[in-house]
Amino acid sequence: MSIVIDIAAQFTGKRAFAQAENAADKLGRTVKHALIGVGVTAFAKSAISAFAAQEKQLTLFKNSLRTIGFEFATNDSLAFLNSLKLQYGVTDSQLIPAYEQLLTTTRSLAASQNLTNVAMDIAARQGISVIEAADALSKAYLGNTKSVGALGLGISKATLASGDFAQILKEITNVTKGAASAAADTFAGKLARVKVAADTAKESIGAGLVEALMQITKSTDIEALQGKIINFGNSAAETLGNIGKIISDNIVLIKAFGALMIAAFAINKIAAFIIALEKVIKTVTMLRNAALATAAAEMFMLNPLAGAVMTAGMFAAIGLLIKGVDALSDSTTRATENLANLFGASKALGVGGDQGGAAKYAEGAAARAAKDAKDAAAAQLKATKAQTKSIQDQNKLKKANALFDLDQIQIMAALQNQLNDDEKLRLQLKLALIQGNATEAERLSAQLAISQLKTTNLALAIANLPPALNPFRDYPQEVQNAIDEINGIQTALDKLKAPKLTVIVDTVYTSTNLANPIGSPVGGGIGATGGITELLGAGGDQGAAARAVEQARNQMTNLEQSLGRGGDQGGAARTNVTVNVAGNVISNKDLADTIRMQLVDSSASGSFSSIGRVRDYN
Amino acid sequence: MPTEVKGLIELKKALKDYAPNLATQLDDQMGLALGGVVKKAQSYAPVTSPLSNWSYRKRSEKNAEGKRKFPLYNSAKVIKGIQYSGTPRRANKNGFKAVYYIINKSAEGAIYETAGRKNPNGQPWVGRKGDPNDHGVSHSNNPNAGKQFIQSMGAIYQGNIESSTKKGRYMKGRLIFRAWAEDGGKANAAALTAIYNVNEQFKRKQYFRKVTK
C-alpha cells in the first residue's frame, strides 16, 4: 500500500459505480445471450468435430481394409457395425478398432463379425471396453491365451493351455452369451443406445453443416472453404458493426429468438432444437426482412449510393439466406418426422419420458416467441412510422435549406426571364434534380423528351421541304456592275491624286538690246554678259568683249532657231514648261517652288534657262 | 480533504490533445509547486537504518512459505519512492480519483512513515503462540519489540488535515506528511493556482485556435 497525499482529485465515483453496475448488468445479459450463442455454436462445433472424427476413423478403417484386401467388404462391414452400434449402444470409436483388429487377425468376414459379437458380450459382462475384449480374442486366435485367461471368464486352464481357439471360444460363449443384449436392455444400455443415436445424428448434422458451408460458400473442396473463411474473417470485423446495429434495432425479436434457443437447448439439445427450428426459421425470416429493410432504408437516408450498394449486397445475402433457410426448412421437416419416429421408438423403449415435457416447453416457448414477434412487429410498425415522419421532417428542412442553395437561386432567377418552353423545361428539370424531387424530375423529363421529339419532327419537316429559290441567281452581273463602278471611282480618284498641269510661263526674254538685258529674272543670263562687261572693266579690251558678246548673241540666236522660235525675234519668246504635280501642289507657293525647281533642273541638265544664277552667287 | 477539481481529468486530456505546450507548462508548474515538498520529504529519510538490524542486506526476500519477508530499510529506495505524480490513480471507495498527489511508494518508506501511527506503543504482543497469519499482533519473542522499533524511528508529525483526504491520525507521518505539514499549504495553493491558470489560458479561445491552426 502506498502512502499518498491527494492534492487535486476528481469525483468520478458514483457515476463510475453506476456505469459499472450498468456494465455488469449488461455484461450479465450479454453473457446470457452469449451463452445461448455458445450453446448453438458449441453444438455446431461439437457436431462438426464429431463428423470430422468419424470421417477420419472411417478413412483409416477403409485404408486398413484395403491393406488386408478387404476393400470390397467396406460397406458391408460398416452396415454390420452400424447395426451393432444402434443395437447395443456401443460407439464407433469402440467398435471399429475392435472389428478392424479381429478382421486383420482372422482375415475372415464371418469370423470377425462373430468374434465382434463375442467381444461385445465379453465387454458387457466384464465391464471392459470392446477393444480390450477384441484384443484378447485376437491374441487367443493367434495362440496367445494369456489375455483371455486374464479376462476372468472362468475358462479352464486346460482349455487355455490347449490353445484350441474353438474350444476357448465355446467356453467364452457359454459364459458370456446374451450379455450384450441384456446390457443393452437395461436403462443404462437404453440410454447408451439413445446416446449413440444422438451421436449419429450429431455426426450427420456435422456432415450437413460442413456440406452446408461448402454449398453456401460455393467451395469445391476444403481448401477453397478455408480460403473463403479467412476472407470472411477479414470482412467480418466490418460487418459485425452493422450486425450490432441490427441486433440493437431488433432486440425484441432477438430476445424471442434467445428464449426459443434457451428452451431448445436447456432440455434436450437435439430434440428441442429440431422442434424449435421451424419457429427459429420463421423468426429469422421476420428478423431478416425487418432488420435488413430497416438498415437499407437508413443507409439510403444517409448515403443513397452506399445505400444502393448495401441493398444490392443485402439482396444477395437475403438470396443466400433464403436458400439456406429453405434448405434448412426441408431438412427440418424431415428431421421433425424422424424425431417423431424417434420419440415413438423411445417410448417403446421406455425412455424419453421427458421428451413430451421438452416438446411442451418448447411449444410454450414458441408461443411466447410468437407473442414477442407480434409485439416486435408492432414495434417495427411504430418505428417505421417514426422513420417516415423523420424523413418528412428532413424533407421540410431540405426544402427550407434549398432557399440558400446558390444553384437553385440561379435557376430560379433564370426562370424569371423570358425563355422558350424547352429552356424552361430544362431549367425546371435541373431544379428538380438539385432538390432531389424524383416525381417532378420524372414528369419534367417526360415533358422534355416530348418537347425534344417535337423539335426533332420539325427538323425532319424542314429537311423534307423542296429546295428554295436561289436568291443570288443574278449575283455575277450585279457584282460585275459593282466592280465597274468601283473601277470608275478608282479612275476618278487616280485622276485626283496625280493631276497633270501644264503651266505656260512667260519667262524668257530674248532681245538685241545688250545694254539693257535685264527684263526679268530669267533673262539674267543674258544680262550677265553686261555684268561681265562691267567686271572686265570698261577700260579693258573692248574689242575682245565685243566679240564675246557677239558670239553669245549668235549662240542664242542659234539656240532659238533650233527651238523653232527664230521667227519671233521682236517680242518676248514663250517657253512651255510642263510641270507634273504628284499631288503635293496645294498652294501657290508650292506651284512656284515646283516650277522653279523644274527650271533649275532643266538648267543643270544643260537645257537653256534664264535664271539669274550669277546673281544668286552674290 | 483534497480539492475536488471538476473536469480535471478531461482538462488534462484536452491539454494533451490540443494544447501540448500548456500541458507542459502545467507539468512544470506542478513540479515547482510540489517538487519542494518532495525534496524536503526525501531529506527526512534517514541515510542509515534507525535500527541496526533493520538495515538492508542481501538475503532471500521470501520466507519458507514463499511469502514476502518484512522489508529491510534501504535509504536509496525510500528516497526514490517519494515522488509527486499527475497520473490519475484508481478511484477510492468514495469515488474520488486523485489526479495530482505526493506518494511514498516503497514498503520500507511506508513503514518508516507510518510506524506507530495506529499503535504508538506497538501492536499487542502474543509471541510465537499466536496465529502466524494474524498481522494485527506482535509475534516477536520480545514483548517490547514494537515499542522499541517505533521509538527508534523518532517523532511522528501531524500533517495538514485541511488539505488532504486524510484526517486525524491518517495524516500523521515522518516523511511526506511531515514535509506537507511544514509546507503549511503553500504547495497545495501553488498547485491549485497552476491548474486554475492553465485552465483559464485554455479557456481563452485564442490559445486553442493558435494551436489548432
A480 compared with A402, residue with greater pLDDT? A480
Q: Could you tell me the CA-to-CA distances from A43 to A32, A40, A215, B148 in Å, in that order?
A: 16, 5, 20, 68
Name which of B89, B110, B187 is nearest A1 (Cβ-Cβ): B110
pLDDT in tens, A552-594: 677 767 766 665 554 444 444 455 666 665 566 677 787 888 7
Is the CB of A3 less than 8 angstroms away from the CB of B192? Answer: no
A503 three-state secondary structure: strand
Q: What was the pLDDT predicted at A528?
A: 40
* pLDDT score for A527: 41
Q: Please check the confidence at residue B84 and state whether its pLDDT lies above 50.
A: yes
**pLDDT for position B76:** 94
Q: What is the pLDDT of residue A581?
A: 59
Q: What is the mean pLDDT of residues A26-45?
A: 54
- What per-residue confidence (pLDDT) applies to B176? 92
- CB pair distance less than 8 Å for A2 and B177: no
pLDDT classification of A56: cutoffs 50, 70, 90: confident
Flag if A3 and B113 touch (Cβ within 8 Å).
yes
- Identify which of B7, B9, B188 has the shortest CB distance to residue A7: B188
pLDDT > 70? residue A248: no
User: Residue B51: CB partners within 8 Å, gap ≥ 6?
Assistant: B73, B149, B152
Check CB contact under 8 Å for A4 and B98: yes
- Tell me whether residues A9 and B113 touch, CB distance under 8 A: no
Q: Are A11 and B96 in contact (CB < 8 Å)?
A: yes
Quickly state the pLDDT bin for A147 (edges 50, 70, 90). confident
Chain A's closest residue to B181, CA to CA, is A5
Chain B, residues 82-111, CB within 8 A of chain A, namely 88-89, 91-92, 94-105, 109-110
Which of B159, B173, B195 has its CB closest to that of A8? B195
- pLDDT confidence of residue A341: 52
Q: Does the distance separating the beta carbons of B91 and A4 come in below 8 Å? A: no
In chain B, residues with a C-beta closer than 8 Å to the C-beta of A12 are: 9, 91, 95-97
Res B143: pLDDT: 92
Nearest residue on chain B to A16, alpha-carbon basis: B95
* pLDDT > 80? residue A280: no
Query: What DSSP string runs through A362-419?
Result: HHHHHHHHHHHHHHHHHHHHHHHHHHHHHHHHHHHHHHHHHTT-HHHHHHHHHHHS--
Confidence of residue A421 (pLDDT cuts 50, 70, 90): confident
Summary mean pLDDT of chain A: 68
Q: Do B89 and A4 touch (CB under 8 A)?
A: yes
Query: In Å, how far is A23's CA from the nearest CA of chain B?
Result: 17
Q: Is the pLDDT of residue A216 over 70?
A: no
Lowest mean pLDDT among A387-396, A397-406, B135-144: A397-406
Least CB–CB distance from A9: residue in B7, B34, B96: B96
The pLDDT assigned to A404 comes to 62
Work out the average pLDDT over A14-41: 53
Q: Do B5 and A9 touch (CB under 8 A)?
A: yes
Q: State how far the Cα of A521 lies from the Cα of A537, in Å rounded to an integer.
A: 24
Question: Which chain A residue has the Cα nearest residue B178?
Answer: A5
Q: How far apart are CA A26 and CA A33, in angstroms?
A: 10
Helices (H) and strands (E) in chain A, counts: 23, 3
pLDDT above 90 (res B105): yes
What value does the mean pLDDT take over residues A247-270?
A: 57
The whole-number pLDDT of residue B149 equals 92
Vertex A413: Cα angle to A408 and A419 (nearest 5): 115
**Residue A578: which of A506, A523, A509, A505 has the closest Cα?**
A505
CB contact (8 A) between residue A3 and residue B109: yes
Q: What is the pLDDT of residue A532?
A: 42
Q: Quick one: pLDDT at residue B113?
A: 92
Identify the top-confidence range among A354-358, A614-618, B203-207: B203-207
pLDDT at A247: 60
A536 pLDDT tier (thresholds 50, 70, 90): very low
Higher pLDDT residue, A487 or A531?
Answer: A487
State residue A134 phi and psi, 5-degree precision: -65, -35
Which residues of A fall within a CB distance of 8 Å from B195? Answer: 8
DSSP A307-363: HHHHHHHHHHHHHHHHHHHHHHHHHHHHHHHHHHHHHHHHHHHT--HHHHHHHHHHH
Helix (H, G, I), strand (E, B) or coil at B184: coil
Whether residue B62 contacts residue B68, with contact meaning beta carbons closer than 8 Å, is answered with yes
User: By the 8 A CB rule, do B169 and B120 touch?
Assistant: no
For the record, the C-alpha cell of A335 comes out as 428431421
A346: pLDDT confidence band, cut at 50, 70 and 90?
Answer: very low
pLDDT at B107 over 60: yes
Distance from CA of B100 to the nearest CA of A (A): 5
What are the extents of the domains in chain A?
A: 22-201, 250-385, 406-461, 495-617
**Predicted confidence band of residue A297 (pLDDT cuts 50, 70, 90):** low
Mark yes or no for CB contact A9/B165 under 8 Å: yes
Top pLDDT among A316 and B8 is at B8
Higher pLDDT, A312 or A130: A130
Rounded CA gap, A333 and A212, in Å?
A: 17
What confidence tier does A389 reach under pLDDT thresholds 50, 70, 90? confident
* Mean pLDDT, residues B163-174: 70
Q: Say yes or no for a CB contact (<8 Å) between A5 and B166.
A: yes
Are B82 and B103 within 8 A, CB to CB?
yes
Our CA angle for A310, A311, A315, nearest 5°, is 120
Q: Tally C-beta pairs within 8 A across A and B.
A: 100
Chain B hits for A17, Cβ within 8 Å: 95
For residue B138, what is the DSSP state? B
Contacts of A19 in chain B (CB under 8 A): none
Tell whether B189 lies on the interface with A, counting CB pairs under 8 A: no
Higher pLDDT, B174 or A256: B174
Range with the lowest mean pLDDT among A6-10, A225-229, A345-349, A382-386?
A345-349
| Averaged pLDDT, A282-291 | 58
Q: What is the mean pLDDT of residues A46-70?
A: 80
Q: Are B95 and A9 contacting, i.e. CB atoms less than 8 angstroms apart?
A: no
- The rounded distance, in Å, linking the Cα atoms of B13 and B25 is 14
Question: What is d(CA A500, CA A496) in angstroms, rounded to the nearest whole number?
Answer: 10
Q: Among A107-116, A301-310, A510-519, whose mean pLDDT is lowest?
A: A510-519
The pLDDT value given to residue A522: 41
Q: Is B95 close to A6, i.e. CB distance below 8 A?
A: no
Tell whether the model's pLDDT for residue A385 goes beyond 60. Answer: yes
Q: Are B55 and B48 in contact (CB under 8 A)?
A: yes
Decide if B2 and A2 are in contact by the 8 Å CB cutoff: no
**Long-range pairs, B49-55, Cβ under 8 A, ≥24:** B49/B73, B49/B75, B50/B112, B50/B152, B50/B153, B50/B154, B51/B149, B51/B152, B54/B149
Instruction: Show residues of chain A in contact with B180, CB under 8 Å.
Output: 5
Helix (H, G, I), strand (E, B) or coil at B82: strand
Burial (Cβ within 10 Å: 0-12, 13-18, ≥19) of residue A247: middle
Of A7, A14, A17, the CB nearest to B2: A7
State the nearest Cα–Cα gap between A11 and chain B, in angstroms: 4
Q: Return the residue of B nearest to A12 by Cα.
A: B95
The domains of chain B are located at 8-117+156-212
User: Nearest residue on chain B to A2, judged by CA atoms?
Assistant: B105
Q: How far apart are CA B172 and CA B179, in angstroms?
A: 11
Nearest to A9 among B98, B110, B188 (CB): B98
Q: Which amino acid is at A6?
A: D
More confident residue, A508 or A155: A155
Residue of B nearest to A18 (CA): B95
Please judge whether A8 and B176 are an interchain contact, meaning their C-beta atoms are less than 8 angstroms apart: no
Q: Establish if B116 touches chain A: CB-CB under 8 angstroms.
A: no
Percent of chain A with pLDDT over 70: 51
- CB distance from B137 to chain A under 8 Å? no
> In what order do the strands lie in the sheet containing B82-85?
B3-4, A3-11, B96-104, B82-85
Assembly ipTM: 0.85
In degrees and rounded to multiples of 5, residue A4 shows phi and psi of -135, 140
Q: Is the pLDDT of residue A347 over 50?
A: no
Looking at per-residue confidence, does B31 or A277 come out higher? B31
Q: Give residue-wise pLDDT tens across range A589-598.
A: 878 887 888 7
